[in-house]
Amino acid sequence: MPKIELITEINSKIDICFDLARSIDLHKISTEKTNEEAIEGKVSGLIGLNEYVTWQATHFGIKQKLTSKITVYERPYYFVDEQLKGIFKSIRHEHKFEQFEERVIMTDIFEFYSPFGLLGKLLDKLILTNYLQKLLIDRNNVIKEFAETDKWKLVLNGK
């Protein structure tokens, strides 16, 4: 099972970073390149424990759907979303937050199982791991940009 681990340092408050990471609206902004759209479940605002969202997006020219659910929630330090339905055999994404003075350390641990047996494992090594890591980095950069400026108010004021 491939595992992607990312650490992002953000000059902000932990509550802001935590809420941005679970904001459906910010996720839409951070994934504009793949035209992600929340089409079922929690489709805007902040997703919480036992809530789910179904995303529709285009990856590699193929329109697909993925449903994930928040299965663990410890505000403002930790939450986990896991795939309920989608093209992968499984996805588990851990989000960890630690406050150090004026800085937040946001850690992502993203594990996934691809379908298609040996072919899937080959695709993981050649394409998918790097592709998914880039998506996560892009997303984290948007979280950082919003958290370190007043932009966070655009998506969290209505929380």
pTM, two decimal places = 0.93
Q: Where are the domains of the chain?
A: 3-156
> For residue 121, what pLDDT is reported?
81
* Helix then strand then coil, % of the chain, to nearest 5: 35, 40, 25
Residue 115: pLDDT band with limits 50, 70, 90: confident
Q: What is the mean pLDDT of residues 7-21?
A: 98
Q: 151: helix, coil or strand?
A: coil
Residue 132 token pair: 């998914």
CATH number at 3-156? 3.30.530.20
Residue 71 Cα distances to 55, 59, 74, 79, 83, angstroms:
17, 25, 10, 8, 10
123, 116 contact by CB (below 8 A): yes
Give which of 148, 133, 143, 137 is closest to 102, Cα–Cα: 148
148: phi > 0 → left, psi -120 to 50 → alpha, else beta; which?
alpha
Q: For residues 44, 40, 69 and 112, what is the CA-based torsion angle, rounded to 10 degrees?
A: -110
Residue found by looking up tokens 């910010």 in the block:
26
Q: What is the mean pLDDT of residues 88-110?
A: 96
> For residue 158, what pLDDT is reported?
56
